[in-house]
Amino acid sequence: MKKLLSQLTFWRGLLVLLLALGLYATYVRFTQGLGAATNLSDQFPWGLWIGFDILCGVGLAAGGFTLCAIVYIFNLKDFKPIVRPAVLTAFLGYLLVIFALMYDLGRPFRIWHALVMWNPNSVMFEVAWCVMLYTTVLALEFSPVLFEGLGWMKAVRVMRAITIPLVIIGVLLSTLHQSSLGSLFLIVPEKLHPLWYSSLLPVFFFLSALGVGCAMVIFESFMSSRAFKREIEMPLLSQLGRVMVVILLIYTVMKIQDLFDRHAFAAVFTLSLESTLYWIEMGFGVLLPMILLSFRKVRLQQTGLFVSALLVVIGFVLNRMNVSITGMEGWAQAGYFPSWMEIAVTVMIVALGFTAFALAARYLPVFPKAEPESQAIEAVHLREEKLALEMMK
């Protein structure tokens, strides 16, 4: 008994509590229907499960294809040590998205219909195929880790041989999938608030996914370094910080240009619930981290980098919630707010994600043995100083 109690840490206790709430909500959802478990209605058919679990889930998994492209296509081998955790996050992310989809679909046991009943005119059809195919690609991309853990070296060699085609297919599918989630909303020009509705929605969804992909890699590196008492790959993550500045800048420029093109600037400067949310999203989730990360000092410092990445993640989540929920509230006049059971299921899924990541990281060769951090930072400093000296010559 005593032994059992000692293992019952705060986090484990919390996990059990969240699981219990989530399981109760699951029971209600599947025995009494969506009406009993959610606040969804005929006026507001898509809520938290689509807005957060699906839209954000897929976006937060974008680190996988971003890093795969960086390492295998652009051949920046320095980043290799953090590819595996990124691919793991993406793989788990997609599995959880499918898991969450089972709650949201009215008839989840018919999910296979999308395989045989085609409608190529439907963005949702594209989304369904992207989810299926990319989850398969992610499983294959992650499989060498499992094979290594099991000691099946022959299988590892086979997977290595097909790495490049696999990565290219993965990048293409991700590009399509991330952007198609934005395309979903192209069909509602009369419903979505003009601050967010744009014919460029697919492009914005893709770009912001690239940005948040990098941010998630930084975020999970920090979290796992704390959990597993691991050194952080600061030089690599700092460089990712710089990549983020460029992505966020392109995103900002395109967003401003788009407002001009659509003559929607007035909406930004009219005081309303929507414009306030828009400013919070753009100000704290895009502009602030972009400015912060443009300082070398911030990029090279753990807290600065972590806070900036966290801001980008929060901004990203806000954006997806604004497009799918708050941006639609004004039109629907339904006053939707998620029920506690919707929230309980979402929280349970996030908790499951953290747990699965922790277990995989503990039992599989996901993280490399990192070089001591102080040395690595010194190396960056030295290199940059050398460069500066050479330029002065």
- By the criterion CB under 8 A, which residues form the site for another protein? 30-36, 40-43, 45-46, 69, 72-75, 104-108, 110-111, 113-114, 117-128, 164, 168, 171-172, 175-176, 179-180, 183-184, 186-191, 199, 202
Q: Which is nearer to another protein, 9 or 75 (CB)?
A: 75
How far is 322 from 20, CA to CA, in rounded Å?
29
Q: Which is nearer to another protein, 73 or 273 (CB)?
A: 73
Q: How far is the CB of 210 from another protein (least distance, A)?
A: 14
Q: Which is nearer to another protein, 27 or 228 (CB)?
A: 27
How far is 41 from 47, CA to CA, in rounded Å?
9
Q: How far is the CB of 373 from another protein (least distance, A)?
A: 28
Q: Which is nearer to another protein, 153 or 161 (CB)?
A: 161
How far is 308 from 341, CA to CA, in rounded Å?
32
Q: How far is the CB of 26 from another protein (least distance, A)?
A: 13
131 near 115, Cβ under 8 Å?
no
Q: How far is the CB of 186 from another protein (least distance, A)?
A: 5
Q: How far is the CB of 178 from another protein (least distance, A)?
A: 12
> DSSP string spanning 48-74?
HIIIIIIIIHHHHTTHHHHHHIIIIIS
How far is 336 from 342, CA to CA, in rounded Å?
12
Q: Which is nearer to another protein, 111 or 264 (CB)?
A: 111
Q: Which is nearer to another protein, 285 or 338 (CB)?
A: 338
> Side-chain half-sphere of 99: how many Cα atoms within 13 Å?
18
Q: Tell me how far CA of residue 100 lies from CA of 24, 52, 66, 153, 343, in angstroms.
A: 15, 10, 24, 34, 12
Position 336, amino acid: Y
Q: How far is the CB of 159 from another protein (least distance, A)?
A: 17
3-state secondary structure of 372: coil
